Amino acid sequence: MSSDTNVSTAQRLGKFVYPHRWGALLTVLAYVGAAATEPMLPKLIGFVFGEGFTKGAFPIWMIPVVLIGLYLMRGLFGFAGQYLFNWTVTRSVMDFRAALVNALLRLDAQVYTRMQPGTAVSKVVNDPQQILQLIGDIGMSVLRDGLPAVAMLGYLFYVNWQLTLLSLVVTPLMAFVMKKVNQRMRLMATRSYDSQLLLVNKVDDITRAWRVVRQFGAAGYERDRFAAVSQEVRRNNLKTATAGALAQPLSQLVASVGLSFIICVAIWQARTTGSGVQAFVEFVTALLLLTSRLRHLSDLAAPFTRATVIAKGCFELMDAPKEVDTGTRELPGPAQGDIAMEQVALTYPGAGQAALDGLTVDFRAGRTTALVGASGAGKSSIIHLLLGFGRPDAGRITLDGIDIQTLSRASLRRQFAVVSQDIVLFDDSVANNIAYAQPRDESRLEAALRAAHLWDFVQGLPEGVETAVGANGSKLSGGQRQRLAIARALYKEAPVWIFDEATSALDTESERAVQQALAQWAGRKTLIVIAHRLSTIRDADAIHVLGAGRLIETGTHAELIARDGAYAAMVRAQAGEP
Ligand SMILES: Nc1ncnc2c1ncn2[C@@H]1O[C@H](COP(=O)(O)OP(=O)(O)OP(=O)(O)O)[C@@H](O)[C@H]1O
């Protein structure tokens, strides 16, 4: 990582702190106040040594009064500084997280296929806190040690400017040593961060796939895989820590060389000029206090490097490609639901062959259209494009005659309710899963539950519709999860419903009930059904048969059977006929 990247990372982080700059400014002021008390200490010690032993110099009670007063002042400033500091950090962390979640919510569909969920969780939840905590601790140390160091340096110049100037000679040497150590630390911290993300993803896998892991008796296998990554993290962490641990002894060594030289010169000066013990003690006390402050500051290189490495990871997420929404047109209300695809082609990035290859099909308003075809024929890719998750490489898709590319994504997606192959439920109540992100309407909720053949089941739940369904509906059966997803789609009242293998997990009775319920909306909704079980789409108004991203044949069930083509063969195969 170049120093330029460091600067821009720091600048970008600064943008999250900027809105809370008053907190930051007041923090600095509080610490300036605390630091201002710093040079008073050597002055006091020098004064006590110089005059304290003289009889009748000053009343002895003044010593505790001044000392306690000094520490009281420092304490008050220190407390205010810490409070204000945390006030600023907690607010900045919240803004940083909000920006990351905002980025996550707008990512391009392709990014999700590459990204492990665990990585996103880590980057949004843990990293901002960690970065700002690290930067915070650094800031605190800079204020706590840096400001007093500056104050002390000023004081040293005041006491003996020639000697102070001489002591600055060691600075470039120290900077060089620190630079070398930092380079090594940054490399190791980057590796350690990357391997830590791998570890997060492993845990994510183990948790998500716990059933598979148990079925395969793979606990040992997973433990070993985890241990291997864990070992890698440990090794990298140790290397980072070793590089960090070198920073202090090396800088101290350089400092000790300088220090011994300076003390020698100071003593020599005192002897030759006869400046006395007081001036010497003042200078050396101040110098020792300054070095101890500087030593603390040299410890900050490691957390700073770690913070920039983690921040870089967060900014990668923030800069990942966003969904392009060039459409400006808004549909005033629900569409008719007439959909046409003309010569549509789609090849996914990195894919060897086209998922859709000049496909021309339509989905008529108010009709039920079925999409059938072998696995990988392109059925889900059609849905992918209809919902605007991707753009066709060629061809055009229209909704009520309007090119969907001209519609805003939000306006387009309002027209669709989808039950997809992979059921996704939220860790929330039945009601909130159904009325997801929409105003709650009890009668609509009941209608959706009844239509999805779920009403009786929900009535039997301990808290009815308010019962929590568990993470991704883990407290429900496969069929119940699917029916819940159907109820959610029905609740949306969109003009186009898409059912992608939506009834595959239902028993015959539930499936019939759902189909009967759907029949109520016949003629009013455009229904697109993807089904592998061909018995479920017999009554469709039209059946499009796909193969390798192209339309092979189209017609009603009866027409296609009469035609005795691909569809008829599929039906025969499913019926177990030769
Ligand atoms: N995100 C993706 N990246 C690359 N290739 C993809 C992606 N999604 C799908 N494909 C490929 O595109 C082709 C069509 O896939 P699609 O999911 O549309 O098929 P499908 O007919 O819905 O299959 P199934 O019935 O198994 O769900 C397949 O060859 C698939 O491997």
SS3 503: coil
Distance 378 CA to ligand 1 centre (A): 6
For residue 578, the model assigns a pLDDT of 62
Phi, psi of 390 (to 5 degrees): -145, 170
**Pocket of ligand 1, candidates 356, 372, 381: which has the most ligand atoms within 8 Å of its Cβ, to mutate?**
381
Contact 395, 354 (CB under 8 A): no
List the domain boundaries for the chain. Answer: 3-319, 339-575
| Nearest to 149, CA basis, from 27, 295, 290, 259 | 290
The protein residue whose alpha carbon is closest to atom 31 in ligand 1 is 376
Nearest ligand 1 atom to the CA of 377 is 21
Task: Classify residue 296 as exposed, middle or buried by CB count within 10 Å of its CB (0-12, 13-18, 19+).
Answer: middle
Q: Cβ < 6 Å from ligand 1: which residues?
A: 113, 348, 351, 355, 373, 375-381
**Pocket of ligand 1, candidates 112, 348, 386: which has the most ligand atoms within 8 Å of its Cβ, to mutate?**
348
Distance 375 CA to ligand 1 centre (A): 8
pLDDT tens per residue across span 383-406: 999 999 999 999 999 999 999 999
For residue 1, the model assigns a pLDDT of 42
Q: Of all residues in the chain, what percent carry a pLDDT higher than 90?
A: 37
Nearest ligand 1 atom to the CA of 546 is 21
Nearest ligand 1 atom to the CA of 378 is 18
**Pocket of ligand 1, candidates 110, 380, 422, 544: which has the most ligand atoms within 8 Å of its Cβ, to mutate?**
380
* CATH code for the structural domain at 339-575: 3.40.50.300
For residue 162, the model assigns a pLDDT of 81
Distance 376 CA to ligand 1 centre (A): 5
Separation of alpha carbons 393 and 160, rounded Å: 76
Distance 344 CA to ligand 1 centre (A): 15
The set of residues, in sequence order, having a beta carbon less than 8 Å from that of 57 and lying 6+ positions away, is 51
pLDDT tens per residue across span 430-456: 999 999 988 999 999 999 999 888 899
Separation of alpha carbons 357 and 378, rounded Å: 9
The set of residues, in sequence order, having a beta carbon less than 8 Å from that of 318 and lying 6+ positions away, is 99, 100, 103
The set of residues, in sequence order, having a beta carbon less than 8 Å from that of 371 and lying 6+ positions away, is 379, 382, 528, 529, 530, 544, 546
Contact 370, 540 (CB under 8 A): yes
Nearest ligand 1 atom to the CA of 371 is 21
Contact 85, 22 (CB under 8 A): no
* CATH code for the structural domain at 3-319: 1.20.1560.10
- Please identify every stretch of the chain with a pLDDT value under 50, giving residue numbers as ranges: 1-3
Distance 543 CA to ligand 1 centre (A): 20
Nearest ligand 1 atom to the CA of 109 is 1
Strand partners of residue 363: 339
Strand partners of residue 429: 468
